[in-house]
Amino acid sequence: DAGVIQSPRHEVTEMGQEVTLRCKPISGHDYLFWYRQTMMRGLELLIYFNNNVPIDDSGMPEDRFSAKMPNASFSTLKIQPSEPRDSAVYFCASSPRGFDQPQHFGDGTRLSIL
């Protein structure tokens, strides 16, 4: 099992640019989560999907953030336009069934907005 795969691992871009983060969950997992981790706020849940459908996006900070899951093996998190305060590590995680099951995390994308 390859685990949850995120790309890119590192992204440095200038303010105002569009950023796209990618995630491939573990095959057969029905749930996919996007998190943001910063020193100030710790781990924050941004959005999660069940069977490719967005269920709760209340953690998405503002309209500049959007997430899609076009199929069971791929999800994207997009920031447009990006701002320096978006700098963080973004994690994707997947889970077999739901909230009584552990999550499997990718190694994250470290995003720096200059």
Query: How much helix, strand and coil, in percent to the nearest 5, is found in the chain?
Result: 5, 55, 45
Alpha-carbon dihedral sign for residues 88, 94, 100, 101:
negative
Contacts to another protein from residues 48-87, by CB under 8 A: 55-56
28 binds another protein (CB under 8 A): no
Q: Does 99 bind another protein (CB under 8 A)?
A: yes
42 versus 70: smaller Cβ distance to another protein? 42
Which of these ranges, 18-26, 61-69, 77-85, 97-105, lies near another protein under the rule CB under 8 A? 97-105
